[in-house]
Structure 1
Amino acid sequence: MALRVGVIGGGQLARMMIAPAVELGLDIRVLAESEGMSAQLAATAVGDYRDLDTVRAFAKDVDVVTFDHEHVPQDVLRALVADGVAVHPGPDALQYAQDKLVMRARLAELGVPQPDWAPIANADELQAFLDDHGGRAVVKTPRGGYDGKGVRVVRAAEDAADWFAQTAEDESLLVEELVSFRRELAQQVARRPSGQITAYPVVETVQRDGVCAEVFAPAPGAAERLMRVAEGIGRQIAEGLGVTGMLAVELFETDDERVLVNELAMRPHNSGHWSQDGAVTGQFEQHLRAVSDLPLGDPTPRARWAAMVNILGGPADGAFEDRFEAAMSEHPDAKIHTYGKDARPGRKVGHVNAAGDDLDDVVYTARAAAAHFA
């Protein structure tokens, strides 16, 4: 009988696991939050991922559980493990992607390079941090933020007054130094439960309004030392936190040539979409291999360069179908991926990949094809 992989969350990441699961001979099943989600083709259940009974019922019919997102509560995850369910990544690892304060403390224990940071419970503590860091800092909500949500640049303690008012007495916000960086990078590694690890090349990511807009692989102009350091950080975190599956480490390359860890994601990640068409083994296949404890695939790029451009918002009239013919005709070497989502300003509704030997040509192709869906 085929190995049954259950994915909690019905978004685009689960959707993009479907094709490689079929190719690997895996039986993929999805617990979607609602009807009609991106991964509806494999949705065998619809329900609340925060409800233990719902998740238990779903997990009963699969051999391994993995995730489209990191938001499943710890008590639910630990109950599954107590039931004997294989959960990858497990709750002990996933807690570091769920809570940024817990992550920062653990990375400090591992000696991983990261920005200066502190937990802050009130305006006085924030002001003290600002005074020690040039009058500017980044405040983050420890849990639940993504795509720029839950992140705020502050210049005075009152800039976070509303967040303090909403924070429980026994909880804290996270404050970090405002890093002067040259660019943002991302390092992806995959690790299977038996310990095998493999790494993709470090990539450059471009953010717009807190959302990843473009990715260039490998990071243009990256020196051999930078690539070794980034890969070393990824491997150290994967092993130190016990991650199983795909791990994305978001990085800052600073003006003084340091590399600092920004955030973590323990699942396929936007920074790795290029690998679907640009690597021997794409991140979605690799994640399935890893959580199923199968031998990992080759992450080597198929071409010298690859680029990914997100389709953000989508056509104003919502009609994707009318755009495909022109995009495909004009850019036959572009790979277009859409998520089955309705158009909405700022929403990730698809992406375009391109690969080749000339970086300028590759980037132009991806951008021009994506522009048809604006």
Structure 2
Amino acid sequence: MRVGVIGGGQLARMMIPAAIDLGIDLRVLAENEGMAAELAAKSVGDYRNVDEVLRFCSEVDVVTFDHEHVPQEVLRALVDTGVAVHPGPDALLYAQDKLLMRAKLTELGLPTPEWAAVEDAAGLGAFLDEHGGAAVVKTARGGYDGKGVRVVRAAHEADDWFAALAEDANGGALLAEELVDFRRELAQSVARRPSGQVVAWPVVESIQRDGVCAEVIAPAPNPAGRLSDVAAEVATTIAEGLGVTGVLAVELFETTDERILVNELAMRPHNSGHWSIEGSTTSQFEQHLRAVLDLPLGPTGIVAPWAVMVNVLGGPASGTMADRYAGVFEDYPMAKVHNYGKEPRPGRKIGHVTVIGDDLDTVTYDARAAAAQFSD
């Protein structure tokens, strides 16, 4: 079984151990030399170039992704030549364009923040007037980890984005959303195989800092009422309604009235699911490979009462993560460290730490303290 992964980041890197365990020949098309997944990088090429991608895909049985940025024309060229693409272009379209995503979720009757497509400052001003003078504005394409997202309280605060749209031959609009008063952020991951089987992991709490996921607690503490069941139902409806294959992560707001709203989608393994490597019977990376190969999906139960994952952001001011191993392993023997092989840089995700155990306070403290040892 030969699986091709387009994109050489840490998600592709973390598929490698699962592929080895299953005897899968994992091949990665990396954007550059020396990327996180270089251990499996068989090629370096431009994922936007049809010929380069077709050449890479000619040697694999199925293609999947480390990110959602492969252009639609490239994806459809793969499908037209008979390549098995999972998730396919018709599903990925909704992860690539937030306006299309919001419209589709609304069509499916799923709970989302109130939203509108705004083409100019006048349209944004009208939206602000209708929603208490504040809104979240997002670029329709390309944003991640807090990029392409702003909270605005005046229409002119998005003038530079409107100017960029005016210069774009394709035009377009920005996504304006109500500023949601939420209790906390949650994430619900599911996996779906082409033949239709869907499984869900426990819903988790995701703690963000500066628009970037900093910590994940699995399962989410103190779920209210049917929250866990509703989160799984929402994600399953999205996976089936959009025809997603592989892992789907749905980022959610838990509002003050104990309802949930869909925030964002990711059609691939996701930061909020890294805890599953140690914390679940089947990790999101093994599950993704099973799903794209249309193999029966594994159980998703948690193997200890609690799992806490903490990202290593930025990294040490000098040296590497490996330079800190001795102290971390001595002080926090239960910590499982994942090093992405990236150069330290302010705000960059260069690794993560997961701790599982019986007591949430202890697990959280150890995960935070161990991760902190890798940053200055």
Name the TM-score, length of structure 2 as normaliser.
Answer: 0.98
Structure 1 residues 231-270: aligned runs within 5 Å: 231-270=232-271
Aligned to 2:70: 72
Structure 2 residues without counterparts, runs of 5 or longer: none
For residues 368 and 288 of structure 1, the distance between their equivalents in structure 2, rounded to whole angstroms, comes to 32
Write out per-residue CA displacement over residues 245-302 of structure 1, whole angstroms, 9 at most, x where no aligned residue. Answer: 0000000001121100000000000000000000000000010100111110111000
With 221-230 and 286-295 compared, the bigger mean Cα shift is at: 221-230
For residues 224 and 245 of structure 1, the distance between their equivalents in structure 2, rounded to whole angstroms, comes to 29
For residues 192 and 320 of structure 1, the distance between their equivalents in structure 2, rounded to whole angstroms, comes to 36
1:260 maps to a residue whose letter is L
Aligned to 2:214: 213
For residues 24 and 307 of structure 1, the distance between their equivalents in structure 2, rounded to whole angstroms, comes to 26
For residues 264 and 355 of structure 2, the distance between their equivalents in structure 1, rounded to whole angstroms, comes to 26
Kept in 2, the 8 Å contact 1:191–1:246? The answer is yes
Partner of residue 110 from structure 1, selected from 108, 112, 115: 108
Equivalent position SS for 2:208: strand
Kept in 2, the 8 Å contact 1:212–1:310? The answer is yes
Structure 1 residues 87-166: aligned runs within 5 Å: 87-166=85-164
For residues 41 and 161 of structure 1, the distance between their equivalents in structure 2, rounded to whole angstroms, comes to 43
For residues 100 and 343 of structure 2, the distance between their equivalents in structure 1, rounded to whole angstroms, comes to 35
How many pairs align?
Answer: 372
Q: Which runs of 4+ in 1 moved over 3 A?
A: none
Equivalent position SS for 1:147: coil
Equivalent position SS for 2:347: coil
Kept in 2, the 8 Å contact 1:318–1:342? The answer is no
For residues 28 and 215 of structure 2, the distance between their equivalents in structure 1, rounded to whole angstroms, comes to 28
Aligned to 2:360: 359
Kept in 1, the 8 Å contact 2:273–2:284? The answer is yes
Question: What percent of counterpart residues are identical?
Answer: 70
For residues 261 and 299 of structure 1, the distance between their equivalents in structure 2, rounded to whole angstroms, comes to 22
Structure 1 residue 133: Cα displacement: 0.1
Aligned to 2:304: 303
1:335 maps to a residue whose letter is K
Structure 1 residue 224: Cα displacement: 4.8
Write out per-residue CA displacement over residues 185-233 of structure 1, whole angstroms, 9 at most, x where no aligned residue. Answer: 0000000001000000000000001100000000011135000110000
Kept in 2, the 8 Å contact 1:314–1:320? The answer is yes
Structure 1 residue 84: Cα displacement: 0.3
Equivalent position SS for 2:334: coil
2:328 equivalent to 1:327:
yes
Equivalent position SS for 1:7: strand
Equivalent position SS for 2:300: coil
Kept in 2, the 8 Å contact 1:245–1:266? The answer is yes
Kept in 1, the 8 Å contact 2:114–2:177? The answer is yes
2:133 maps to a residue whose letter is G
Aligned to 1:33: 31
Equivalent position SS for 1:16: helix
Aligned to 2:293: 292
Structure 1 residue 368: Cα displacement: 1.1
Name the TM-score, length of structure 1 as normaliser.
Answer: 0.99
Aligned to 2:15: 17
Kept in 2, the 8 Å contact 1:47–1:54? The answer is yes
Partner of residue 56 from structure 1, selected from 54, 65, 76: 54
Kept in 2, the 8 Å contact 1:68–1:267? The answer is yes
Aligned to 1:372: 373
2:275 equivalent to 1:274:
yes
Structure 1 residues without counterparts, runs of 5 or longer: none
Equivalent position SS for 1:31: strand
Kept in 1, the 8 Å contact 2:224–2:258? The answer is no
